[in-house]
Structure 1
Amino acid sequence: MRMLFTGLTAVILGTIPTFAQTAQNPPQTYNPILARPVTLPAIFPTPVSITPGKGSVMLGKSIVLVVAPGADPEAEALVRNTLTAAGVETITTARQLPSVPDRPYIILGTGDAEIVRSALARSAAVPDSNAEGYTIASVAAGNGALITLAGHDADGLFHAAQTFRQLAQRSTIPALVIQDHPAMAIRGTIEGFYGAPWSMTDRAKHLHFLATVKANTYVYSPKDDPYARDRWREAYSPAILKELSTLVTTARQNHINFVYAISPGPSVCFSNPADRQALERKFSALRSIGVHSFYVALDDIEYTKWNCALDSTTFGPSSAEAAGIAQAQLLNAIQADLNTVDPAAPPLIMVPTEYYDAKESPYKAALRKNLNPKIVVQWTGTDVVPPAISIPDARAATKAFGRKTLLWDNYPVNDYAQTTGRLLLAPYVRREAGLSAELTGILSNPMNQEAPSRVAVTGVAAFGWNDKAYDAVRTWHAAARELAGGDERTTEALLTFFDTQHMAPTFGSQPWQEQAPRLKAVLDGVREAIANGDDATRHQAIADLVLYADRFAGAPDIIRAGTVDTAFAQESRPWLDAMQLWGRALQLTVAGLDAADKGSIAAGRYFASAKRLAAAAAAIRTIPGATRFEGGIKIADGVLDVFVGDAPKLIAFEQE
């Protein structure tokens, strides 16, 4: 997959030679192409700092790769694939750096390797010293260049390789120094939705995607996996374990921490040693295939009613407070077992029964008092689907749970009634910059549709990496470009489609993001132009809307043909089908307005045909079994349907 950039001027240094031609060492004769300014690239997630140098370098057809001892093999493989995709034909290897390079040398390794430190010094750069951090330094030298990818650790080196993948999409790589590291320690997704789980193929694709946005965590927690919830005591079959093992390997290759979550809450007996042992056996089986991170989910359960008489004897009458004590006792025992059998494993993660808001309660107080402080607690914000999350909100959660929380953000998940008929494709917004200081991390709960989920998850990951420099709209555009493989026409078609799915509902009646703001602005402009009575303005507005309607109606076919992963079009099929019909309805509506404006009696026929197509579009339903709530597909509802319905009244026309 490729990440390309918005609003950047490509720097083209003429015909690609077999060596690195640099702007520092131009030919003696003036070349206007070489005189073009060197521009900095846009990188997503946004790095902590990018400092420009002088000049730029083309990779050319031949480069030398210097891999430091012990360098991460996945990072090396990614760099090699990136170079091949960039048109490099010959990759030779070396162990030393020349005093004056005659072509590009790419140095790959961690900052503790002598050759990496030497290369950084020659670029006037220092290694980043933060976990998962990296430094990239590129400098033109002689007829060649040094491009150093230095990771603080193996993860950092892999992230450096991902950034290099983006840099190499341009025709030249500018001289620069990038210092970068994540703001949040945990970043990624939790497959925690109800309804049809992702397939193993979906999950593998998602892990590859997470790597491209520098995420580091995937939690396996599908609500409809019976062996993780309803039948949690039962062992997985060898066949399922084999599939999960393949997934764990894919995660490891992408530097993603695979976290296995189990949901025993509906039937667990907290004080029964047999149930604790059943949990430990399940974790042991997963550990045998390479899982080292575990999670106990206690959400969406009845917590004021015991599942067994033994809990009543042990903890007394059922209550929220007693549930908190019982849960803490079980989780502490599980954490103690993890400490014994796998001392290097990350801490246990749990999601509490009161996972929403930060209001003080007997349950939260019991957890705060009794739960091992090492255990990570997830929290969904001020509500199940919060319209916004602020720094004071996160601080209140820290106080309520007695530790900084791991944010479970229920966006773009579409498994609740208010999301019926919707994909959630708006940018990730209204999370306050600075939350990184108050949270241990952030996990997005995605949709049943994996490929469309990447639009919002790109934003969540970028916010988790660098919340202070996060730009929601630019990141949104970058997500579209990634899906489009860099093709501008497909990117614009995708953004037009995203706009029709901009609605972001909550559990209440008020959404936290409005529907179709781009389309609404266009249609409102047409209404205003018609209403003001100026003939020229009205004629021009209608003519402009003809062009817009054509682009709108044509967008679905462009998306079907142009997205790099066919899964996006497949999983979005009914929405694209409905959008196409709505687009034709809009075309006929504009034709009706144009006819009415010219006094033609054909206006009524156009409007009637538009109404029929709109009804056909509104009748399209979601893919059976794909989502928890099924229903009619919604396309720019409240905006496009209203305009099509109102259009016959905007200009008086003669009926046939």
Structure 2
Amino acid sequence: MSALPMEAPGGDRPFLTGVVEGFYGRPWRDLDRRAYARLLPRLGLNSYLYCPKADPFLRRQWQRHWPRPRWRELLGLAACFRGAGLHFGVGLSPFALYRRYGDTERRQLRDKIRRLQELRGDLLALLFDDMPGDVPDLAERQAEIVADVRAWSPRTRLLMCPTYYSCDPVLEKHFGAMPADYWSRLGRLLPADVDIFWTGNRVCAERISTADLAPLARAFGRPLTLWDNYPVNDGALRSKHLYLEPLPGREPGLRSRLAGHFCNPMNQAWLSLPALRGLAELHATARPPADWEARELGASLWTRLRRDGALFQREGLDGIAPDRRRALAAEYADLPGPAAAEVAAWLRGEFAFDPACLTD
């Protein structure tokens, strides 16, 4: 089943909706990623970006190519998404490349882009998130890198994540003071056809409205693409919760102000599906039947998640007594299917946050 084309505001490019696998910690299995090539079209979603922070060849070791067996797996994964009629791409995070971008680094980047082109994806993201940003000419340096990639890959839809991708003050706390006029300078310097990621007024925004987006769209000089950090649960606090409600707190009509909307999912692939139903309903890409989750996750599991979902989302692991947690883990472990296995593993603490994941 092919994904339906959706027009973006102000042009004939498709409006991108889907998954950006951009979280820290335990990544998904390729088996589950391939399942998404089947699941996303059923929701009317059309895009998948592969950029798990745990893949070293996309971030700290970006100059190196994947070992041959893993590269064959990625080629197969890309072919799977293409075969489903989905937009597919990779998010490359060339760590702090803007600090030194000479002839050697430029050649390394060109070689990496050429290798990524072998995947035959129609999307490519350059991600400068979660890196030091206290460089006075940060916008100019990043725009130079993006312009080179645009020249090397002219037929690919290019997306870019700024270092300061939210109004959240936590970014300056961790990555240094944002250079003056960074957003407007970046907007003026980037090619007009480059999409810019934005997470909202907070890194993990509880609410996003058209009023939130308007001043940033003016600063960047284009509609933004949401990198929506719901239902992601990769942090020290969020990893203790399962976010099972459909995408909440997003104002209807956001699509008229956006070029695309991606959700960054949980470390649990199958349990992220209810949230993605909310993404589909927000943008009216499809109207899944009322029993959609029961069909995809398993009827017995969905019955129990309707019973326990509020507990898992609001109270989390710390709000469940140890004996009760063990009993629930055993109950879910007895149920069939990968989603039930994810619940059981989470209850057993197998998705616990590891600070080492931040030193990728």
Q: Same fold (TM over 0.5)?
A: yes
**Structure 1 Cα separation of the partners of residues 167 and 151 of structure 2:** 29
Could you tell me which of 24, 37, 57 is aligned with 1:227? Answer: 57
Q: Distance in 2 between matches of 1:409 and 1:479?
A: 23
The residue number in structure 2 matching 1:463 is: 282
Q: Hey, what does 1:298 align to over in structure 2?
A: 128
Kept after mapping to 1: 8 A contact 2:56/2:62? yes
Residues 504/184 of structure 1: CA separation in 2 closer, same or farther (3 Å cut): farther
SS in 2 for 1:406: strand
User: 1:364 and 2:174 equivalent?
Assistant: no
> What is the CA–CA distance in structure 2 between the aligned matches of 1:441 and 1:351, rounded to whole Å?
13
- Are 1:260 and 2:51 an aligned pair? no
Give the equivalent residue in structure 2 for 1:238: 68
Shift of 1:427: 2.5
**Equivalent residues in 2 for 1:179-578 (5 A)?**
185-269=15-99, 271-304=101-134, 318-319=135-136, 322-339=137-154, 343=155, 345-346=156-157, 348-357=158-167, 361-466=180-285, 478-485=291-298, 487=299, 490-503=301-314, 566-574=337-345
Q: Distance in 2 between matches of 1:358 and 1:557?
A: 40
Deviations 1:215-245 (A, max 9, x none): 1111111111111001101122222211001
Note the C-alpha offset of 1:196: 1.5
Letter in 1 for 2:188: K
1:402-426 alpha-carbon deviations (Å, 9 max, x no partner): 1101000001111112214222212
Check the 8 A contact 1:477/1:495 in 2, yes or no: no
SS at match of 1:429: coil
1:498 is displaced (CA, Å) by 1.6
Measured in 2, the distance between the counterparts of 1:282 and 1:413 equals 28
Match of 1:335, SS?
helix
Q: CA deviation at 1:430?
A: 1.0
Calculate the TM-score normalised by the size of structure 2: 0.83
Classify the secondary structure of the residue corresponding to 1:260: strand
On the 8 A contact 1:414/1:420 being kept in 2, the answer is yes
C-alpha contact (below 8 Å) 1:283/1:294 kept by paired residues: no
Q: Are the counterparts in 1 of residues 168 and 203 from structure 2 also a CA contact under 8 Å? A: no
Higher relative contact order (CA 8 A, sep 6+): 2
Q: State the shift of 1:562 in Å.
A: 5.6
The alpha carbon displacement at 1:357 in A equals 2.5
Q: Which residue is 1:628 aligned to?
A: 353
CA distance in 2, matches of 1:206, 1:435: 24
List alignment gaps of at least 5 residues for structure 2.
8-12, 170-177, 321-325, 356-360
Residue aligned with 1:417, SS: coil
Q: Contact 1:480/1:494 (CA < 8 Å) preserved in 2?
A: no
The Cα shift of 1:291 comes to: 2.4
What percent identity do the matched residue pairs reach? Answer: 27
Letter in 1 for 2:166: Y
Tell me the matched-pair count: 334
Whether the 8 Å CA contact 1:497–1:555 is kept in 2: the answer is no
Partner of 1:165: none
Q: 1:302 to 1:418 in 2, by over 3 A?
A: same
Shift of 1:192: 0.5
